[in-house]
Amino acid sequence: MAGAVIASTDSGYDQARRSYNALIDRRPAAIVRCRLAGDVAVALDFARSEGLEVAVRGGGHNPAGHCMVADGLVIDLSLMRSVEVDHEARIAYAEGGATWLNFDAATQAFGLVTPGGVVGTTGVAGLTFGGGIGHLTAQHGLTCDHLLGAEVVTPDGSIVRASADEDSELLWGLRGGGGNFGVATRLEFRLFPLERVLGGRLIYTGRHVGEALRRYRDLVAASPRDLSCGALLSVDESLEPILIVSPCYTGASADPQELKELRSAPGLIDDGLRVHSFIAQQHVFNPPYGEERCYWKGHFVRELADELIDELLGRMVALGRPPGQLLIESLHGAAKDNDSSLGAVGFRGAAFNLSAMAGWMDPTDDEDHIEWARETAAAIAPWSASGAGYVNYMQADEPIERVRAAFGDETFERLRTLKGRYDPENVLRRNQNIPPHPAEPGVPAQEATS
């Protein structure tokens, strides 16, 4: 192998087994730091011959802790983070372990961008394979919409290519179907010119937060596609609500009407909007890595009704102490331009993604916070678009019905067939799992999908 193997007796083992979610504390048998696609194939081979369960680690951000497996083998891609840019063709080539920090630094050197996630340390591949919602969703759609191709090491150790010409069905599956089909070692993305944005954060507190949230809702519903806008609801220690709205405007106006309305909403205590680089916008949220215990659960919703806003405000004080945050992501604009023929992702029709993100430090609070997130998701459920949340935010205990609902029956069955061709033994099951349909006898995976 060109890379390195870290065993439990090696220094650095505890650092290497950390993930974003401090609730996850697993001790793998070994962590394989791959450098090449061939290393990934060797690791998969070794895991098979030793009967070891496999986990794949990109940025280590998945809140379910899918990147770690107790007593198994972790295929760690953190040495595979380079990103090359063909600025004339406007295409970026990212290695399988690249994060958005790596990606944005490389593409912004040429004034180019693809719509990615809002936290730099998140893995590009992991985020893309679940869809990808961020600061440019209204302008350019989901991250997976711009995935043009990938090099993938399948569980049997073969190296295959997914693209419109080479295996369009695999490419379709990678656009939303998660890390179910293989380990991606190289991904290709379409790029767009963009250097500066009008963005940052607006912070509201106190009794007017409900009104500010309604204004946010009305505004994004009617918003042009040059304005993406997310929101984050929380409470301070005295249970006063706090709303953070994070617009990202890329239009021509120096003072767009939509932002004027947000800036004049009641309860505003901090106006941090400014023209800055896209890289600066990508640093608007920088949560610490691996310190908090987390449990996330939510729903894509049809609308953000007044009653639902009241419900959400009530849920923020229900625990009697700060429970964490509630993330509100709008799906207006370009996310709606495509449908399930482009990729497996199944949530485009929703208006918003609402996620209860319980976060805490003390292990004795585990049960209370987990229960808070579950009850909050249950309170949102009457407005649910499909009965499911975002696969990228799901915990490992989500029932298969919720995973199925995230895609819809037809897409889920199509994904199961694809899984049956590439991973009939379900080697890659540390993810929001697609159980394989039995493969067609005697037909190799590549032929079966071409």
Residues that bind ligand FAD in the complex, under the rule CB under 6 A: 20, 55-63, 66-67, 77, 96, 117-119, 122-123, 125-127, 129-134, 178-179, 183-184, 287, 392-393, 430-431
Q: How far is the CB of 31 from ligand FAD (least distance, A)?
A: 12
Q: From the centroid of its chain, how far is CA 220?
A: 21
* CB neighbour class for 277 (10 Å; exposed up to 12, middle 13-18, buried from 19): middle
Nearer to ligand FAD, 376 or 431 (CB): 431
Contacts of 222 (CB under 8 A, 6+ apart): none
In this complex, which beta carbon is closest to ligand FAD, that of residue 288 or of residue 438? Answer: 288
Q: Which two tokens stand for residue 132?
A: 């990808």
Comparing CB distances to ligand FAD, the nearer of 115 and 241 is: 115
Least distance in Å: CB of 38 to ligand FAD? 15
Measured from the CB of residue 127, what is the shortest distance to ligand FAD in angstroms? Answer: 3
Half-sphere exposure of 138 toward its Cβ, with a 13 Å CA cutoff? 23
- Min CB(226)–ligand FAD separation in Å: 19
Contact present, 133 and 353 (Cβ < 8 Å): yes
What is the closest distance, in whole angstroms, from the C-beta atom of residue 20 to ligand FAD in the complex?
Answer: 4
> Dihedral sign, CA of 61, 62, 65, 68?
negative
User: Cβ atoms within 10 A of the Cβ of 300, count?
Assistant: 27
3-state secondary structure of 16: helix
Nearest to 296 by CA among 344, 202, 360, 224: 360
- Tell the smallest beta-carbon distance from residue 251 to ligand FAD (Å): 22
| CA distances, 273 to each of 6, 201, 376 (Å) | 45, 6, 30
Q: Which is nearer to ligand FAD, 55 or 170 (CB)?
A: 55
Query: CB of residue 444 vs ligand FAD: minimum separation in angstroms?
Result: 21
Give the DSSP letter of residue 437.
P
Strands 83-86 and 352-360: unpaired
Phi, psi of 109 (to 5 degrees): -60, -25
Decide whether 44 or 198 has the Cβ nearer to ligand FAD: 44
Shortest spacing between CB 387 and ligand FAD, in angstroms = 20
Handedness of CA 115, 409, 62, 21 (dihedral sign): positive
Least Cβ distance, residue 174 to ligand FAD (angstroms): 8
Pick between residue 291 and residue 401 the one whose CB is nearest to ligand FAD: 291
Closest to ligand FAD by CB, 253 vs 286, is 286
Q: How far is the CB of 267 from ligand FAD (least distance, A)?
A: 25
362: helix, strand or coil: coil
Q: Collect all residues with Cβ–Cβ distance below 8 Å to 66 and sequence separation of at least 6.
A: 55, 56, 179, 396, 430, 431
Encoding tokens for residue 66? 């899918």
Minimum CB distance to ligand FAD smaller for 179 or for 247: 179
Residues 6+ apart with CB under 8 A from 122: 59, 61, 99, 100
Q: Among residues 62 and 139, whose Cβ is nearest to ligand FAD?
A: 62
- Nearer to ligand FAD by Cβ, of 267 and 323: the residue is 323
Q: Which is nearer to ligand FAD, 127 or 427 (CB)?
A: 127
Nearest approach, Cβ of 78 to ligand FAD (angstroms)? 9
DSSP assignment string, 158-210: -EEEEETTT-HHHHHHHTTS-S-S-EEEEEEEE-EE--EEEE--EEEEGGGHH
List the strands of the sheet with 30-33, edge to edge. 4-7, 30-33, 73-76, 54-57
